Amino acid sequence: MAGRLLFPQEIHDYLSSVSVREPAVLRRLREETASHPRATMQISPDQGQFMALLMQLMGAQRTLEVGVFTGYSSLAVALALPADGQIVACDVSEEYTAVARRYWKEAGVDHMIDLRIRPALETLHQLLSDGRGHTFDFAFIDADKTNYEGYYECALELLRPGGLIMIDNVLWSGRVADPNDNDADTVAIRAFNKKLHSDSRITLSMLSIGDGVTLALKR
The CA distance from 43 to 141, in Å, is 12
Would you say residue 21 lies in a domain?
A: yes
Tell whether the model's pLDDT for residue 202 goes beyond 60: yes
Count of structural domains within the chain? 1
> Could you tell me which of 94, 23, 85 has the C-alpha nearest to residue 56?
85
Considering the entire predicted model, what is its pTM? 0.96
Domain assignment present for residue 208? The answer is: yes
Q: What is the mean pLDDT of residues 135-141?
A: 99
In tens, the pLDDT along 27-70 reads 999 999 999 999 999 999 999 999 999 999 999 999 999 999 99
Q: Where does the pLDDT of residue 8 fall: very low under 50, low under 70, confident under 90, or very high at 90 and above? A: confident
CATH number at residue 167: 3.40.50.150
Q: What per-residue confidence (pLDDT) applies to 190?
A: 98
Query: Does the residue 1 lie in any domain?
Result: no
As a whole number of angstroms, the distance between CA 48 and CA 116 comes to 21
Q: What is the pLDDT of residue 4?
A: 60
**204 domain-assigned:** yes
Alpha helices in the chain (DSSP H): 9-19, 24-33, 45-58, 72-80, 94-107, 120-129, 148-158, 184-197
Tell me, yes or no, whether 2 lies in a domain: no
Asked, for residue 87, whether it belongs to a domain, the answer is yes
Which residue segment(s) compose the domain that 14 sits in? 9-218
Q: Is the pLDDT of residue 142 over 60?
A: yes
In a domain, 3, yes or no: no
pLDDT of residue 25: 98
pLDDT score of 12 more than 70: yes
In a domain, 211, yes or no: yes
- pLDDT, position 5: 65
**Which of 8, 79, 82, 28 lies closest to 49, judged by CA?**
79
Does position 19 have pLDDT exceeding 90, yes or no? yes
Examine the pLDDT at 2 and tell me if it is beyond 60.
Answer: no
| Residue 6 binned pLDDT confidence (cut-offs 50, 70, 90) | confident
pLDDT in tens, 82-103: 999 999 999 999 999 999 999 9
pLDDT(3) > 90: no
